[in-house]
Structures are given as C-alpha cells and as structure tokens.
C-alpha cells in the first residue's frame, strides 16, 4: 500500500491549524502514513499549544501519527513545507507521496484518497491538486497557466478584445468541469510524487511567499512530470488567513521579490524585464480608461510604481553582483 506524508504549515493560526488537521485526519482514514504540523517560528505560543493539543487528543498515538515540529525560522511557505518534507515519516521512513495542505483548508470526505488514487492510476503524472471552494460553497480559481509576458500584459490591461486575442496566455484558467491537465495549481491542497521531488528538488526557498508552487510545477513539467487537477477531490479553503492578502494596502516586497525571481530564474533577466514592462504598459492603458470610466482600480495604491521601482533595483543589483563575481573570479 502506498504511504503518504501530510504536511500542514502553521503561522500564528494554531486553532485553525488544529481544525485543518482534524479534517485531514478524517479524510486520511484508511490511508497508510503520518501527518506533520510545522510551526513556522510563530513566536506566539502556537507550537506549545498545538503540541499539547495533539497529545491531549491522542493524535500522536493514532493510526495517522501526528507530530508537531518547529521550523526554527520563518523562511516562508516553501521553506516551512520543506521542513516537513525533510522530516519524512516517523522513524525516518520515506513516503511514496507528499500532501501539502494549507492551515485554512479543510479536505472533505474522500478528498485526499481521490488525489492518491489519481496518482496511482496515472504513473506519468507528477502532481495532483484539488477542486477548491470557499466556506460559502463558491468555487475558487486554482488552476493556472504558467506566467508569461503576454499574460502580464493581458492581466494588467483588463480589456476584452486583448483578452480574447491572448486567451491562451491568461494565467487563471476557467474552473475546470472535469479532471484535467493544467500547468500549475495553488498549493492549498497539492499532492506530489516523492520520486519527482527526489529528481527535481523540493521548494525553492528563495521564494518567501507566492510563485513557489508555480516554480515547482514548472520544474516538474520540464522534467516530464505534469500536474493534474482532480475534480473529485473537494477542499474547502477560507483563504489568506495567514497572509492577509485580501487586505493589502500596498503590494508587499516579498510578492515583488517572488515575481521577479520567478521570471528571472525561469526565463532570464531580459525576459523578466520585458514581463515587467508589459505589466506596466498594460496597467498604464488600464489607468487611462479609468479617466473615462468609473471602475475600481483593482490593485493596491502605487502598485505599478512599486513594481517598476522594485524590479529596476533588482535589475541593477543583479548587474552589480555579476560585476563583482567577474572581478573576483579566479584566473583560468
């Protein structure tokens, strides 16, 4: 029977994380494996609270042994999940699959089994993710295409004719009506084949938050391991509880860092610059329309300026680092 390691990352949401773990344990019934909760250096007593609760509920001795471990530092989403993945199964066992679940996500009956069954039945598939809905039952868009310069222009222009012209570059796909292949999926509920992680590596910890699962799915796809969206796996996701994304008053630096790193790493510096220029041009055209039409701007204040300034600094900082490396390179 295949074995599964479930990883839930906590940051200052101990009560909700325990609720997520409880839902996961119900959905894990009959599956061989273990669950590890990683506290991402919350510093608010989360680790102690969850450790005590796991013992009080007997989860540490259950059929799905639950452990609470401390990351030691808040390195972000990918780094925290990597701590759990590296921990493996109890007593150092190696799982066949790894399942990462957000602390504000709640698998419904059969949701985890559906992902595992799909990967077992489709040995050429690397990753599988769930159909995500809100606690109000509304479906969430979690199936995506890989980001591109054309997609950046389309997203920031917000203009129907351009969207139709660039429809195959739109990052957020329509919600699939059947199990299907996608470029990448949101990491709120994602199962990964351990064999794939052994080959391509785990999360790139340069990403603090956002784009890390995009990058991981892309690395898997390039290695010949695609990602599938599994409609039969249903997970309720509250969303943005830890990150506060819905209430951003200014685009945070970590998002800008991640965006720049994704494009530069996967496509090179020139393409990253082009993607940023496409976004700024598209955003400028959108703002011209706002002069005529009364519409919601749709992004935080100073968004375009912050992006352009941040990425210009990143560009010149990168050039400076290249110069320094060339100056200190040993003679050949």
Q: What is the pLDDT of residues 309-327, one digit of tens each?
A: 999 999 888 754 443 333 3
Residue 286 lies in a domain: yes
Write out pLDDT tens, residues 183-225: 999 999 999 999 999 999 999 999 999 999 999 999 999 999 9
* Residue at which a domain ends, from 188, 220, 243: 243
Q: Percent of the chain scored above 70 by pLDDT? A: 93
> 165 with 293: CB under 8 angstroms?
no
Kindly tell me if the per-residue pLDDT of 330 is higher than 50: no
Give me the pLDDT at residue 325, please: 35
Residues 214 and 109 in one domain: yes
pLDDT band at 328 (very low <50, low <70, confident <90, very high): very low
What DSSP letter does each residue of 39-97 carry, written as one string?
E-S--SSHHHHHHHHHHHTTGGGSSSEEEEEE-SS---HHHHHHHHHHH-SGGG---SE
CA–chain centroid gap for 319, Å, is 29
pLDDT band at 245 (very low <50, low <70, confident <90, very high): low
Report, as an integer, the average pLDDT of 175-181.
Answer: 97
Residues 214 and 260 in one domain: no
pLDDT band at 175 (very low <50, low <70, confident <90, very high): very high
Residue span of the structural domain in which 51 resides = 3-140+175-243
Kindly tell me if the per-residue pLDDT of 252 is higher than 80: yes
> 34 with 63: CB under 8 angstroms?
no
Q: Give the other-Cβ count within 10 Å of 87's Cβ.
A: 16
* Residue at which a domain ends, from 243, 265, 285: 243
* Residue at which a domain ends, from 243, 267, 293: 243
Three-state SS at 100: strand
- Quick one: tokens of 164? 């139709």
CATH of the domain at 19: 3.90.550.10
Q: Rounded to an integer, what distance in angstroms lies between the CA atom of residue 248 and that of residue 86?
A: 32
pLDDT band at 91 (very low <50, low <70, confident <90, very high): confident
Kindly tell me if the per-residue pLDDT of 237 is higher than 60: yes
């Amino acid at each position: 029977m295949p074995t599964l390691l479930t990883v839930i990352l906590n940051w200052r949401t101990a009560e909700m994380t325990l609720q997520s773990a409880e839902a996961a344990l119900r959905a894990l019934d009959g599956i061989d494996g273990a669950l590890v909760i990683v506290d991402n250096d919350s510093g608010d007593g989360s680790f102690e609270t969850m450790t005590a609760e796991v013992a009080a509920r007997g989860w540490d001795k259950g059929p799905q042994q639950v452990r609470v471990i401390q990351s030691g530092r808040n390195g972000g989403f990918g780094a925290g999940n990597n701590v759990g993945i590296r921990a493996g199964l109890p007593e150092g066992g190696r799982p066949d699959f790894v399942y990462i679940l957000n602390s504000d996500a709640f698998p419904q009956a059969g949701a985890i089994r559906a992902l595992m069954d799909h990967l077992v039945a489709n040995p050429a598939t690397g990753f599988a993710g769930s159909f995500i809905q809100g606690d109000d039952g509304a479906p969430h868009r979690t199936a995506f295409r890989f980001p591109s310069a054309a997609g950046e222009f389309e997203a920031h222009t917000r203009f129907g004719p351009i969207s139709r012209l660039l429809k195959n570059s739109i990052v957020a796909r329509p919600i699939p009506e059947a199990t299907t292949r996608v470029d990448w999926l949101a990491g709120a509920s994602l199962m990964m084949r351990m064999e794939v992680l052994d080959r391509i590596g785990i999360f790139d910890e340069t990403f603090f938050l956002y784009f890390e699962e995009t990058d991981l799915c892309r690395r898997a796809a390039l290695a010949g391991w695609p990602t599938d969206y599994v409609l039969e796996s249903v997970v309720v996701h509250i969303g943005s509880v830890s990150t506060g994304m819905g209430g951003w008053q200014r685009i945070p630096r970590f998002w800008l860092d991640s965006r720049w790193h994704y494009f530069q790493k996967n496509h090179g510096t020139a393409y990253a610059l082009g993607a940023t220029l496409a976004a700024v041009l598209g955003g400028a055209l959108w703002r011209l329309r706002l002069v005529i039409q009364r519409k919601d701007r749709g992004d935080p204040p100073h968004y375009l300026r912050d992006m352009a300034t941040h990425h210009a600094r990143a560009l010149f900082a990168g050039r400076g680092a290249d110069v320094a490396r060339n100056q200190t390179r040993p003679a050949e």
